Structure 1
Amino acid sequence: MKQALSIQLKQQILTVCHEKVAAQIAQLEAELKSLGESAASDTKSSMGDKYETSREMINLEKGKIAGQLANATKMRSILKGIDAGKALSTCEMGALVQTNQGFYLLAAAIGQVAVEGVNCFVISPGSPIGQQLMGKAAGDTFKLGPREIELVGVV
């Protein structure tokens, strides 16, 4: 069943996005906690170099996860700033856009989500497609590579 563009669909997609980001944050926080416990329980042995290498690898992994956590937290704040009940007539932050190629939500770079048979790409306004969409309204077209994409509707 293809669902029509609506405020309700936008709300459902945003709810899935919030859940996805919250799960990602919880997973990353758990990984950081686990690494912290691992580092604390790692005792110095007579093989000092092995201990130092292990601690450095843990610190590198913690740094990588901390960066991912900062990114996920930023995505969460972007999503919180979107009024899901607000109808929009042009493509801007928070707009759900239907094109002849599919659905897009201009928010954060979350990727593809599926709601009631509708696949929607949740993208950043700074992405190549996001930049092309910004400021456009239903009936407008733009080129993406060799394809011409038409905006069917915006909400």
Structure 2
Amino acid sequence: MGRVVSMNKENLYQLCLNFIEQRIQTAETALKQAREASNDDTKSSAGDKYETSREMMQQDIDRNKRLLMDAQENFKVLEALENIPSADVARAGSLVYTNEGTFYISISAGQLNTDEGVVFAISAASPIGKLLLGKRKGDSFTFNGKNYLIKEVA
């Protein structure tokens, strides 16, 4: 088994940063639009219909607030990983090469396409992230019926 092609962690970090910045911007825009819709809703409607409409708008505002807070938390998690040095043991900020794919333990950003290949950005709190933490080159584990062999940790 030859050496695994090394990917640029700085590039992966930037892709995750772009992903989370887009999520923050989308959530902020949706929240602003929901608030404007709520403020524009006139009281010309009477009774239950009006109350139902106001409640639905408030639920929309609350949902967008939660999305924004979640995205901001992910941004903080990602910031803490910037310039983390490589280690022999998989941890937050590690790039883990397995026989079933490459994983960047950072935030749940999904599949990242790079010049070197596909990488899955996963949270350390995700089910597979929890299995990867603390593993070393040569370790193996099973997830969703697949056997994973760790080829390298960077």
| TM-score, normalized by the shorter chain, greater than 0.5 | yes
1:150 aligned onto 2:149: yes
Partner of 2:119: 120
Deviations 1:127-153 (A, max 9, x none): 221111111111111122432211111
Structure 1 distance, partners of 2:32, 2:6, is: 42
**Structure 1: 5+ residue runs without aligned partners?**
none
Q: Is the 8 A contact 2:13 2:82 kept in 1?
A: no
Give structure 1 regions of 4+ aligned residues with deviation exceeding 4 angstroms. none
CA distance 1:38–1:137, shift in 2 (3 Å) = same
Aligned Cα RMSD in Å? 1.6
Structure 1 distance, partners of 2:72, 2:120, is: 20
1:44 aligned onto 2:6: no
Letter matched to residue 147 of structure 1: K
Q: Is the 8 A contact 2:84 2:93 kept in 1?
A: no
Q: CA deviation at 1:117?
A: 4.7
TM-score (norm 2): 0.90
CA distance 1:105–1:49, shift in 2 (3 Å) = same
Partner of 2:90: 91
Q: Is the 8 A contact 2:98 2:151 kept in 1?
A: yes
Deviations 1:17-38 (A, max 9, x none): 1001101100110111111111
Letter matched to residue 21 of structure 2: A
Q: Which has the higher contact order (CA 8 A, sep 6+)?
A: 1
Partner of 1:5: 6
Partner of 2:131: 132
Structure 2 distance, partners of 1:51, 1:4, is: 60
Partner of 1:77: 76
Q: Is the 8 A contact 1:25 1:69 kept in 2?
A: yes
Q: CA deviation at 1:49?
A: 2.5
CA distance 1:51–1:74, shift in 2 (3 Å) = same
Partner of 2:59: 60
CA distance 1:57–1:146, shift in 2 (3 Å) = closer
Structure 1 distance, partners of 2:45, 2:130, is: 57
